[in-house]
Amino acid sequence: MSRTILKIACASLIASAAIAAHHAAGATDAAPASPQKKPYTVKDGKVDINTYHGYLYYGDQCMRCHGPDGAGSSYAPNLTESLKVMTKEQVENTIINGRKHVDSSNEKVMPAFGTNEDVVENMDNIYNYLLARSDGALGRGHPEHLDP
Ligand code: HEC
């Protein structure tokens, strides 16, 4: 009886330690001891269907400012570089809340997409597409997709 309780206590301790470790790794973006599996698949230049949707919605919603392939423009930053230094959470917050850089010599405004369903529902897909571009796993241009 008391043994069972001890076992349960141990198991939950291990579980919470694992969760804490996971959070710590995410928060610091520390060099991965065991590399995390990427959230996208690229095979012979073809992407998984979710990443493909990310490509399409990027083209629809973001490209007019951030340029083709996430590569940036004179108006908005190169997102393949941004994703090397931003956490996923920071990227999502920027997308949801938008961003402004307005002063005497700048007038750069990114709209908030928090009420744009196409963007909110495809947040992971857009992020994964940009991450694949940022990692150099996916080249420029319109990718083909793998069979779903
Ligand atoms: C109307 C133009 C416009 C659109 C559309 C737009 N952005 Fe932006 N975005 C900007 C500008 C301008 C900035 C930089 C603002 C600044 O200088 O602080 C920016 C900044 C960002 C950043 C932060 C980059 C960094 O290095 O700090 C991310 C991430 C981002 N945008 C993602 C997106 C995504 C994803 C979409 C599509 C869902 C999108 N943006 C649509 C104009 C736009």
Residue span of the structural domain in which 77 resides: 40-145
Question: In this structure, what CATH number is given to the domain that contains residue 46?
Answer: 1.10.760.10
Q: Is residue 132 part of a domain?
A: yes
What lines the ligand 1 site, CB under 6 Å? 61-62, 64-66, 75-77, 79, 82, 91, 94-95, 99, 101, 108, 110-111, 113, 119, 126
Any residues with CB less than 8 A from the CB of 142 and at least 6 apart, and which? 55
The verdict on residue 102 lying in a domain is yes
**Which residues in the chain show pLDDT less than 50?**
1, 25-27
> How many CB atoms sit inside 10 A of residue 129's CB?
29
d(CA 47, CA 145): 5
Confidence (pLDDT) at 148: 84
Which two tokens mark 10?
């141990």
Domain count, the chain: 1
Shortest-distance Cα residue to atom 2 of ligand 1: 65
pLDDT tens digits along 3-20: 655 555 555 555 555 555
pTM as predicted: 0.81
Residue 128: Cβ within 10 Å count: 25
